[in-house]
A and B are shown apart, each in its own frame.
Chain A
Amino acid sequence: MASASSFSATKFAQPLPLNGTTSRSHDKHQSFFDPLRTTPSSSSFLGSTRKLRLSSASKLKLLANPNRRSAVVAVSDVVKEKKAKSTTNLLITKEEGLVVYEDMILGRAFEDMCAQMYYRGKMFGFVHLYNGQEAVSTGFIKLLKREDSVVSTYRDHVHALSKGVPARAVMSELFGKTTGCCRGQGGSMHMFSKEHNLIGGFAFIGEGIPVATGAAFSSKYRREVLKEVDCDHVTLAFFGDGTCNNGQFFECLNMAALWKLPIVFVVENNLWAIGMSHMRATSDPEIWKKGPAFGMPGVHVDGMDVLKVREVAKEAIGRARRGEGPTLVECETYRFRGHSLADPDELRDPAEKAHYAARDPITALKKYMIENSLASEAELKAIEKKIDEVVEDAVEFADESPHPSRSQLLENVFADPKGFGIGPDGRYRCEDPKFTQGTAHV
């Protein structure tokens, strides 16, 4: 693959000069996420799923073995290597598998429909599609409870869908209709849903990270100060590789670790900002390494494989829920489309795109489920058909929904609309009936 020329296995093979490289102890219960030990860099960056302390013998065995099941074992110390292929050793049950599959298909079908709608003029402005990265969203968010929070970036449609915001509400929002999840006032980049605890949707790189840290802070505050003893809500912050060079990222890694906040920082490293390659922008491109520098575990996982992501997510979310503090998870993933629908996407090497297209997370999961007899081809096809109908319905619903009325322009600027002040006639402006109709002089 052409892009591998920019970094080779040897470049990153230097082990870290810390006690982390000593052989694994006999203690199998020692959590992989021990913050006092760092994970050594031992293999090539692209495609690597293992940033663990493994003895060199098993390391070689795993490198040579392309079988996904044992490669996934490498992600987590506590999963013993299995030899027999039986259902009890699978990483996912049938029910879970179908849920995961459906969620990824929904994400893909929805984004594809967005592209169509954009080119037909129904959607406008900035639209950033998530094709190819579904494993990260599904792998993490499907493990959350409703009360857990998710903070995202402008590439947030699929995070919204995974968190439970109905496809109709997201599509309407994108069309700018009043039935959208933010009544058409947010748009593609600003998805919010209080009901589902999706707290943004931020356009600025890195803006969501402190907000997510604050949400995690509020969870800890509720438990410790307001004495809501069973408040163990976790927050996930999703952001990209470009964000990892931004000051706010580091500020929050520091504070989250300092105050042991229940947050997981999920880096969706798709290797590219708009046209700026991660390698050209970053002095040390291995983002997971930045976690231990701040006193939290850093994990690197293959973000094109939803089962691997799920395993890592379970551990990270569990850690946060138990009050053990934050984790930094770097998911190596790829966006199949351009940065946005306005991006001609000319700078990325076709060979690199082909390499990742071959690792499409949906195809991979389908293959896994069929090979392990978790589902039949027909069942999966039925899911795909169902999702097609859901997305079609969402488009129809959005099409038929009304545009916002004129009075909506002035609504919700403030929670307390007296914030518009007292007008020249001595009354609060918001009390003037013409104001709420949107015809008053502002």
Chain B
Amino acid sequence: MTVRDALNSALDEEMSADPKVFLMGEEVGEYQGAYKISKGLLDKYGPERVLDTPITEAGFTGIGVGAAYHGLKPVIEFMTFNFSMQAIDHIINSAAKSNYMSAGQMSVPIVFRGPNGAAAGVGAQHSHCYASWYASCPGLKVLAPYSSEDARGLLKAAIRDPDPVVFLENELLYGETFPVSAEVLDSSFCVPIGKAKIEREGKDVTITAFSKMVGYALKAAEILAKEGISAEVINLRSIRPLDRDTINASVRKTNRLVTVEEGFPQHGVGAEICASVVEESFGYLDAPVERIAGADVPMPYAANLERLAVPQVQQRELATDLCQWLQLL
């Protein structure tokens, strides 16, 4: 099943199960979704539940929050999360903080979803990764699916969740196909929020990643395996809350950690994971934590520069660098 179909089916099933769920965003209706994620939903549920909005992120995000205050369950689509910056006041100030400011009176069961991070050749303003931005804010839950199973399970969990959820998809993953079990296809399938998944077990080094980088980490693990290095790959799935338990347990087993993300390095997700591991499992670390992140520059347009600005899996360099770093005999 492709990630696109996974998301579409999750939306379809949740809208069918609960009439309070509705989808709002630009081009989600008649255009079938800017990336075709909401294909067929307008025909099925009508224009009162699949709303095409004018280009007013701040306005329609706030409308979603107001509707959520009164018990409806909006799914707000941002064409990309870069545009969420026009609405970030509502995501942070009226969604994330409201349950707290009102001492539990106003819960906000809203989902903000859309593609996040770099795509291909879309330039600096369309390639920013917002994982660490939203993950730093209390009151929000931030999810980043990788596979179709993640996409389906996490989106369903997000829609059912009574709190505001930021759901960071990835445009380049939409078309990728992943095998799914019958359990995943069941309409009640949910993935718990706050639990990471160990995609590949290993014993020499822990690699944490989320979203597209999980695929890269798995490829890297394959390459390392040929060199005799057994890497454990953790798919974070949930950036906030971070599954510190799984990460720390893994580091205590392997004694080394590499964090991978596509976003900018400073104050990124890797920084938080590093801090968590240093605080909780300092005695178990045999080497300093290594962070792999996007280059600390706005994303360039030129294809070759863009390739240099994001993590890549380069066979030769990976093998020699990592082996040196791991100081294996």
Contact = CB atoms under 8 A, between A and B. Distances in A.
Interface of A: 149, 151, 182-186, 190, 192-194, 199-204, 207, 209-219, 221, 224-226, 235, 247-248, 251-252, 254-255, 258, 411-416, 418-426, 428-429
A413 B99 contact: yes
Given A214-B68, A251-B59, A423-B244, A190 B101 contact: yes
A422 B249 CA distance: 12
A200 B241 CA distance: 27
B264 interface: no
B94 interface: yes
Interface in B84-132: 89-90, 93-94, 98-109
Given A217-B66, A421-B244, A252 B280 contact: no
Interface of B: 19-20, 22, 48-49, 53-54, 56, 58-72, 89-90, 93-94, 98-109, 138-139, 141, 161-163, 193-195, 238, 240-246, 248-249, 276, 280-281
6 contacts: A192-B101, A200-B98, A215-B70, A248-B58, A251-B58, A413-B100
Given A251-B56, A424-B248, A194 B105 contact: yes
A422 B238 CA distance: 11
A419 B241 contact: yes
Nearest to B96: A413
A207 B87 CA distance: 10
Nearest to A191: B102
Residue among B48, B60, B103, B104 with the highest chain A CB neighbour number at 10 A: B103
Given A149-B70, A214-B67, A422 B195 contact: yes
A200 B70 contact: no
Contacts of B245: 422-426
Contacts of A194: 102, 105-106
Given A185-B103, A202-B93, A419-B163, A221 B48 contact: yes
Contacts of A219: 70
B162 A416 contact: yes
Given A217-B67, A415-B104, A210 B60 contact: yes
Contact of B56 (A149, A254, A418): A254
Given A182-B101, A251-B54, A213 B69 contact: no
Contact of A422 (B93, B105, B243): B243
B65 A225 contact: no
Residue among B49, B64, B94, B243 with the highest chain A CB neighbour number at 10 A: B94
B102 A190 contact: yes
Contacts of B70: 149, 199, 214-215, 218-219
B21 to A, nearest CB: 10
Given A186-B103, A210-B60, A215-B67, A416 B90 contact: no
Contacts of A215: 66-67, 69-70
What's the dominant secondary structure at chain A's contact region?
A: mixed
Contacts of A252: 59, 62-63
Contact of B58 (A151, A186, A247): A247
Contacts of A182: 101-103, 105
Contacts of B56: 251, 254-255
Contacts of A428: 194
A255 B281 CA distance: 52
Residue among B163, B195, B249, B281 with the highest chain A CB neighbour number at 10 A: B163
A375 B276 CA distance: 69
Contacts of A185: 100-103
B110 to A, nearest CB: 10
B244 A255 contact: no
A409 to B, nearest CB: 10
Contacts of B59: 210, 213, 248, 251-252, 254-255
Residue among B93, B98, B108 with the highest chain A CB neighbour number at 10 A: B98
A422 B244 contact: yes
Nearest to B162: A415
Contacts of A414: 99, 139, 141, 162-163
Given A210-B90, A416-B161, A226 B66 contact: no
Nearest to B87: A210
A201 B101 contact: yes
Given A214-B67, A251-B60, A412-B100, 11 more contacts: A184-B103, A185-B103, A190-B101, A192-B106, A200-B106, A204-B89, A209-B62, A214-B63, A215-B66, A421-B238, A426-B249
A422 B67 contact: no
Contacts of A209: 62
Contacts of B240: 421
A415 B140 CA distance: 11
A207 B53 contact: no
Contact of B54 (A183, A210, A255, A413): A255
A418 B89 CA distance: 25
Nearest to B63: A214
A213 B69 CA distance: 11
Nearest to A417: B163
B243 A218 contact: no
Contacts of A221: 22, 48, 67, 72
A411 B102 CA distance: 11
Given A226-B20, A251-B59, A214 B106 contact: no
B248 A225 contact: no
A345 B287 CA distance: 61
A201 B69 CA distance: 13
A243 to B, nearest CB: 13
A183 B106 CA distance: 13
Nearest to A421: B241
Contacts of B58: 210, 247-248, 251
Contacts of B104: 411-412, 415
A199 B68 CA distance: 11
Contacts of B244: 421-424
Closest 8 A/B residue pairs (Cβ)? A214-B66, A210-B62, A421-B241, A251-B59, A192-B102, A415-B107, A183-B103, A415-B162
A429 B245 CA distance: 11
A149 B249 CA distance: 49
A309 to B, nearest CB: 24
A211 B53 contact: no
B19 A226 contact: yes
Contacts of B89: 204, 207
Contacts of A190: 101-102
Contacts of A254: 54, 56, 59
Given A182-B102, A190-B102, A422-B244, A225 B49 contact: yes
A199 B20 CA distance: 19
A219 B48 CA distance: 13
Contact of B63 (A255, A426, A429): A255
B170 to A, nearest CB: 23
A218 B54 CA distance: 18
B251 to A, nearest CB: 11
Given A199-B106, A204-B93, A217-B67, A419 B194 contact: yes
